Structures are given as C-alpha cells and as structure tokens.
Amino acid sequence: MARLFSQRSRHATWRKLWLFLAESQRELGVETITEEALEQMRAHLELSDADFQVAKVEEKRRRHDVMAHIHAFGAVAPAAAGIIHYGATSCFITDNSELMLMRNAMDLLLPRLAKVIWNLSQFAIKWRAEPTLAYTHLQPAQLITVGKRAAQWAQDLLLDLESIESARDSLRFRGAQGTTGTQASFLEIFGGDGSKCDTLNELLCQKAGFPSCYEVSTQTYTRKVDLIISNVLAGLGASVHKICGDIRHLAAWKEVEEPFEKDQIGSSAMAYKRNPMRSERLCSLSRELMSKPMNFANTLASQWMERSLDDSAIRRMDIPEMFLLADAILLGLDNVSNGLVVYPQRIKARVHEELPFMITETIIMRLVAQGESRQEAHEQIRVLSHQASSTVKDKGEQNDLILRIKATEFFRPIWNELDGLLKPELYIGRSAEIVERFCGKGGVLDARIRPYKNFIEESTTSELMV
C-alpha cells in the first residue's frame, strides 16, 4: 500500500495517463501525434531519479507540479514533448490517477479483509459450542458461545467487505472532460465531432480498466466519490474498534487473549502484566480512520461552483492516509484473529458464578407450566435474586440463589429439577447451529469469501511456514 501511494507510483500513473490520452487521440485521427512520440512515451513510463530531479527544478521555477512533470516527461520523450497533455487540464491527470490508485488500493484491502473473516470463521467453528457469558449493558445476560460472538464479529466484517466491494465496483473514471467538464477543448481537437469525444472516453476507460466515466463532471470528478469511499473505510474502522474492544474486555476477564509472545513485556514496571497492546493499537488506528469522513464531507461541501483548489492539499494527505490506515488495521487484525487464545476453565468458572441467575427464566416457565402465576413467579425470583446478589456484592461470598430457591416453599414443584438445570449447555439456544450455518463449510461466509480463496490459502501457507 505504501508503494502504491508513493511518489514514484503516482507519477508513473500520470505518465500512463498521458500515454493513454495520446494513444487514443492518435487512434481517433490526430495526425500530429506520431508513432515515434508514443514509442518514446512507452519507453519512459517509469521515472528515474534524474526525472524527479528535472521535475523538482521545473516545479520550483513554475510553481505547478503537473506542468513540472510534463516538462520532465518531454525531456526524455522529445518527439512527444509538444503533444503531451494535449487538450487536457491538470485534473485529467490528478483526478484520474487518484481514481486508479483508490481502485487499486481497494483491490489490496479486499483479500486482506477476506483473510481476517476466514480466521474468525475458523475460530468460531472451533468454539461454536463453548458456553460463555453474554453481556447486555456490559452486565451478564443469557449465555451464548465463544464461537457465536466471533461469528458476530465476522458478520460485521462481511458487511464491510460487501460495502468496499460495492464502492469499488461502482467507481467510474473522470476521463477527458476539459477544464470545466464541457469537453470544449476536445471538441475543438476533433473539429466539432462530439461522437469522437465520447469515443475518446471509451478508449480511455478501456485502457485504464474502468467500465465508464461519470456522466457529469466539473473540473474534477465530484468529491462525493471520496466521501463514499471514506465512509465505507470508516465503517471498517468502526467494526475493528468494536471487535478489539471486545477482546480487550475478554482479556481483562482472563477469558480470551490476543497472541502474546514468549518474551513479550506487558509493562516496564508491572512485570506480570499481559496488556492487549495489539488490540489497543488497532483501536487507536481505527479511531483515526473513523475520523476521515468529516474531512471529505467538508471538502465536498466547500467545492465552490466548478472547483476550488482548497481540496488539493488535504486530499493528498487524506486519500493515502485512509488506505494506509485500513491496510495497517487489517494486517494487525489478521495477526490477532489468527492467534486468539481461549481459556475454557476460566470461562466455565465465570459462567458458574452467574449460572444461577441464568436459569431463572427457565424456572419461571416451568412453574407456569405447572399452573403457577407467571407474575408471582417473577416476583418471587426477583426478591431471591436480589438477596443472592447482595450476598455476592456485600459479603464477597458465593452466589447462593439455588440454596434460597430450595429453601422457599413456593418453588417446591421444581425443587427436584434444579440440579439438572445447572448445565450451561442448556442455555446457549441455537448458538452452535447459528455458527455452523454462517461460518461452516458451504455456509454464508464460505460462499462470500470464495473469490479470495487463493489469497487466503497462500497467506495461510506462509503463516504455517513461518
């Protein structure tokens, strides 16, 4: 990703666009563009250090980066020097290259994201039936399984995958639109033949790998496009922040941990610490990624009439940054999700601390089935539950709710069932089935990430070799 957004990559893309334009114009009958000119352009698509030096001198002199690189390109392709950028405005180069770079960046992100989803799906299948406390309001609620929680994480990321795919597939080219999007300069070149202007854009789209151009442009493609892309990447950041926040809580409860190396140090002062520093880092990076749409929204809102140049500097920072952030986040989450450590005995101990509360709904239902009032059963359970809770909180003793129920005459009809009810697997509902259906072989995830199978297999093989 860093290489994609490097200056060398960016300016090589500029040169490709100048070549695409010249080739297309020659194909449409512009005789001043010779084959020699095209050959020289093709021979110098990659920039040398000397090219950058020439561009640096020219930019200092002319205070215009596009013109500086036109002169640098013309210096190594002299037969083309007079026709480079023919009929174009600077945004032909800058905007089209940004669209190409963003498309290619999404092509880098998508398989990485699919790999993380696959990691979580494998984890979810492995732990699909392991009962664990669920939390609502961050308070213990009815049981789920370790695997079902991971399946929820995977589903959020799948939604992000689909959003990024949609943004990528809906991306269009700016093409050759002229200085204010009227194609006036190209209409002049083609002697007033508007059909050749259309064909020019069709040829440019074919060469650059886009299905079509945006129907309407100003001097730029609409900055709404940048906002759409930043929103889907911010959505990824929000998902990762949520996942890593969950992992950080689970680590605090000593139930699940991110990978922790043999000689890793959690704290310079507290030698016993096993801080979830990778998840913390991912939360930090995710917050920065989540902040990006505001900049793009402000840029869109500030585009006066057909274009204002105050979009340029901020986009040169924010477009690469949002993709570099997303890439770093996925690399980090791949590492975390591929090495999660589960502590089943610790999970069981925490489940059994709360299990007496978990079975109260079942107790109510069984009492009602035997003719008791549902409301009265609820009130009886409520009173005893609060008493047991006080025993735990105020006295630091074990949860004694079952003993209280066994000592209360109202519950006599189900006394002989109580011990059999204290089995966590009775309270996970369809968790295992839900995980199987979503994460298992032939399930929803399996079908959706199949296009990325080769990348996933190659990545997994590389990890095993390491």
Q: Evaluate whether 333 touches 401 at the Cβ level (below 8 Å).
A: no
User: What is the arithmetic mean of pLDDT over 54-62?
Assistant: 91
Nearest to 328 by CA among 420, 236, 461, 195: 236
Q: Residue 455 burial by CB count (10 A; 0-12/13-18/19+): exposed, middle or buried?
A: middle
- Asked if residue 267 has pLDDT above 90, the reply is no
- Asked if residue 464 has pLDDT above 70, the reply is no
- Asked if residue 397 has pLDDT above 60, the reply is yes
What pLDDT digit, counting tens, does each position of 8-43 carry?
A: 999 999 999 999 999 999 999 999 999 999 999 999
Q: Name the DSSP class of 318.
A: H
d(CA 229, CA 434): 32
Q: Enumerate the active-site residues.
A: 137, 267
Type of residue found at 428: I
- Asked if residue 358 has pLDDT above 90, the reply is no
Mean pLDDT of the chain, nearest integer? 93
Q: Residue 142 burial by CB count (10 A; 0-12/13-18/19+): exposed, middle or buried?
A: middle
CA 32 centroid distance within chain: 47
Q: How many CA atoms lie within 13 A of 308 on its CB side?
A: 11
What pLDDT digit, counting tens, does each position of 402-446 carry?
A: 999 999 999 999 999 998 999 999 999 999 999 999 999 988 999
CA 281 centroid distance within chain: 15
What pLDDT digit, counting tens, does each position of 227-260 carry?
A: 999 999 999 999 999 999 999 999 999 999 998 7
d(CA 82, CA 96): 22
Determine the pLDDT at residue 105: 98
Ordered domains of the chain (ranges, CATH): 7-86 (1.10.275.10), 92-124+149-172+222-342+437-466 (1.20.200.10), 175-213 (no CATH), 360-421 (1.10.40)
Determine the pLDDT at residue 336: 96
Q: Comparing 278 with 270, which gets the higher pLDDT? A: 278
- Would you place residue 310 in the very low, low, confident or very high pLDDT band (cuts 50, 70, 90)? confident
> 135 CB contacts (<8 Å, ≥6 apart)?
141
d(CA 73, CA 400): 82
Determine the pLDDT at residue 361: 86
- Asked if residue 150 has pLDDT above 90, the reply is yes
- Asked if residue 205 has pLDDT above 60, the reply is yes
First-to-final CA distance of the chain: 22
Determine the pLDDT at residue 175: 95
Q: Which residue has the tokens 């993709």?
A: 323
Q: Distances in Å between the alpha carbon of 344 and those of 191, 316, 341, 351?
A: 77, 48, 10, 10
- Would you place residue 270 in the very low, low, confident or very high pLDDT band (cuts 50, 70, 90)? low
